[in-house]
Amino acid sequence: MEADGIFVYGPMRQGGREHPWLQRTRPQGHCRAWAAGRLFHLPNQGIPALISCPEPDSAPPSPGWVVGEFVGYESEEELEAALADLDQVKDVDNGLYVRRILPVILDSGHRYGAWAYVFDTDRLIHLEQHGVELMDGDWAAYLEG
């Protein structure tokens, strides 16, 4: 699967504290989107963690889907430049997040591949023990509540 953009589900979403970092990469646009997975909040670090999972039987929004934004870029070169910048913000070199291509469903129903910063599945037990699972898949709503 190829990636046509980036899926953001945490502080890079509109209104989030890292959104200015995303904006400086000059995205072409963004829209609401969903990726299949489990979402956790890590209270000690104040960050979200997405574990990618197979798509549930029910369509989003429903359990098993994480809500976020699909962020598009004018060209593949601009997408690659944005990823190089965002890899540093997401501490990819030190293994905090890994970057993976996930299938996402846009608000319009269209499906795309998108790069996302996620946690590896081998960290799931740690997340279950030390994180707060967000069953509605919405990190921004959790912070507001």
CA–CA dist 49, 40 (Å, integer): 5
The CATH superfamily label for domain 5-144 reads Gamma-glutamyl cyclotransferase-like (3.10.490.10)
User: Among 88-97, 106-115, 133-142, which is the least confidently predicted range?
Assistant: 88-97
Quick one: DSSP state of residue 71? Answer: E
Amino acid at 43: P
Q: Can you say whether the dihedral through the CA atoms of 32, 33, 38, 42 is positive or negative? A: negative
Tell me the whole-structure pTM to 2 decimals.
0.96
Domain boundaries along the sequence of the chain: 5-144
Average pLDDT score over residue span 77-82 = 96
Q: Measuring CA to CA, which residue among 30, 62, 45 is closest to residue 97?
A: 45
CA–CA dist 142, 57 (Å, integer): 24
Quick one: DSSP state of residue 109? Answer: S
CA–CA dist 39, 3 (Å, integer): 21
- Per-residue confidence (pLDDT) for residue 145, from 0 to 100: 80
Instruction: Write out pLDDT tens, residues 10-34.
Output: 999 999 999 999 999 999 999 999 9
Give the tokens for residue 75. 């060209």
pLDDT tier, 1 (very low <50, low <70, confident <90, very high otherwise): confident
